[in-house]
């Protein structure tokens, strides 16, 4: 037995339409998340109904002016709780500008894990030099990207391939020649 969710939408003529939605799916989950954040009805319509105004409103009334797309996206990102992820993506995207072209040629951003920005370096020399400059880079990062919630930098030097995967491992001698 599959569970169904209902979708209730108010149309421009005031009629209410109910649609059955199957559980799951990205679009459905996104809609239900947005609905839970905005409570299904935009703030302006709710206020109009409480004052007893007609649902259509006046064509030149308050809130009818077009808004820039950047403002709308910023509002949606803030309401949905995406501001931290967008700021972290901005740090990764602007790494070449932030670190400088010479440094960016020898480094690659791996990702962000638990507030730690992980950067892979081409050589141990670059990793050592960037570890020495870690404090300065971290101070600039916190100043330029305060909402990114990045609290540390980790510079990784290239090394021999590792058989270790994940945070935990079993102590021992490691893999040996078992191929022939």
- Give how far Cα 71 sits from Cα of 19, 68, 138, Å: 31, 5, 29
Q: Rounded CA gap, 168 and 111, in Å? A: 20
Long-range contacts of 137-140 (CB under 8 A, 24+ apart): 137/99, 140/98
Confidence of residue 160 (pLDDT cuts 50, 70, 90): low
Percent with pLDDT over 90 in the chain: 39
| Residue 170: pLDDT over 60 | yes
Long-range contacts of 58-66 (CB under 8 A, 24+ apart): none
- Read off the pTM: 0.54
For residue 171 the two structure tokens come to 């102590």
- Which of 100, 106, 127, 117 lies closest to 151, judged by CA? 117
**Res 21: pLDDT:** 46
Q: Give the dihedral sign, CA 82/88/90/93.
A: negative
**Res 180: pLDDT:** 52
pLDDT digits (tens, 9 = 90+) for 136-145: 999 999 999 9
Q: Give the dihedral sign, CA 83/86/92/95.
A: negative
Q: Rounded CA gap, 53 and 57, in Å? A: 7
Q: Rounded CA gap, 38 and 171, in Å? A: 51
Chain centroid to Cα 77, Å, comes to: 9
Q: Give the dihedral sign, CA 140/113/121/126.
A: positive
């Amino acid at each position: 037995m599959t569970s169904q969710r209902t979708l209730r939408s108010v149309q421009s003529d005031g009629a209410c339409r109910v649609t059955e939605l199957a559980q799951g799916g990205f679009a459905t989950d996104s809609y239900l998340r947005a609905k839970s954040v905005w409570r299904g009805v935009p703030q302006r319509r709710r206020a109009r109904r409480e004052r007893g105004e007609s649902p259509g409103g006046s064509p030149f009334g308050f809130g009818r002016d077009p808004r820039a797309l950047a403002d709308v996206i910023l509002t949606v990102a803030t309401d949905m709780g995406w501001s931290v992820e967008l700021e972290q993506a901005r740090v990764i995207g602007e790494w070449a500008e932030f670190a400088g072209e010479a440094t960016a040629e020898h480094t690659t951003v791996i990702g962000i894990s638990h507030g730690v920005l992980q950067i892979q370096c081409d050589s141990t020399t670059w990793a050592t030099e960037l570890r020495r400059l870690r404090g300065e880079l971290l101070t600039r990062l916190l100043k330029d990207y305060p909402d990114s919630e990045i609290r540390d930098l980790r510079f990784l030097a290239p090394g021999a391939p590792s058989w270790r995967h994940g945070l935990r491992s079993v102590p021992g001698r490691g893999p040996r020649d078992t191929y022939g």
